[in-house]
Amino acid sequence: MTAPKTKTVRLSNGVKIPILGLGTSHIGGYCHSTVVHALKDCGYRLIDTAARYKCEEAVGKAIRESNVPRKDIFLTTKLWKSELGYKKTIDAFSASLQRLKVEYIDLYLIHWPVCPHGSNNVKSLRAETWKAMEELYKQGLCKAIGVSNFEVSHLRDLEETWDIIPHVNQIEHHIYYRPMELIQYCKDKGICVEGYCPLSQGLALEEPIIQELANKYKKTKSQILIRWNIQNDVVTIPKTTKESRVHENFQVFDFEIHEEDMQRVNSIHKTKMKKLILS
């Protein structure tokens, strides 16, 4: 059976990012065969990892084992907060390239806006780091650059010195946490919002509305939650280590949640706002 083809979102620089991908996790929560299966058999073309997860080498190997051409895969990795600063960023990026065994990264993100304990010049370190990110982008080593877990205050600080507006802000996004001020800021600046933790660690699966909609649309609860994220124009990267789940999560392009049902789900976060902080 032919795998469904994912839709894409055009970033502000014209680069297209798949709207649905696979998130990976720390060693111990990483399943190699599932990543290969996602690429080879299910149609995934966006894979998200990070230096912090200690699985970049494995992800690079999975890409090669899948036999999917590198040019067809949108690969994201991230700079850990201990590596903030111009030179550290350049060196950390080079190390990620070596571990992944690739010549370029499709999207490189600053993983967190905070610094290790004891650093009192966070704002200037972020600015230095962003200059390094811009340089990597100008050299063609990254197709796009962005940030992760940045709130409006962090982006406004960065705005004072940036030459290139971040192409992506990867944030926690699910039915219990939908930060509308941040989302609107990103929209106004042309920053694509990418959301992790769409199932809110499984908590959202217990919502009666989600079960009701799963019955109505003849889909699983996970598919309803992922589709809800996508229809809110959020690039979505659910994590799973199970091959059956990775296949299930990708079957969301053959239906659409009606507007009135979207609004019912949208209203949940207003009464049950909860941030999990899992990245």
Considering only CA atoms, which of 13, 24, 79, 78 is closest in space to residue 46? Answer: 24
- The C-alpha atoms of residue 180 and residue 159 are separated, in whole angstroms, by 19
Token pair of 8 as six digits? 């894409």
200 near 194, Cβ under 8 Å? no
d(CA 210, CA 217): 10
Structure tokens at 265: 């789900």
**Catalytic (active-site) positions:** 53
Q: Where are the alpha helices (DSSP H) in the chain?
A: 32-37, 56-66, 86-100, 122-138, 152-159, 180-189, 208-217, 221-231, 243-249, 259-266, 268-271
**Residue 180, helix vs strand vs coil:** helix
Q: How do 235-236 and 46-48 pair as beta strands?
A: unpaired
User: 74: Cβ–Cβ under 8 A, 6 or more apart, which residues?
Assistant: 17, 18, 21, 45, 46, 47, 106, 107
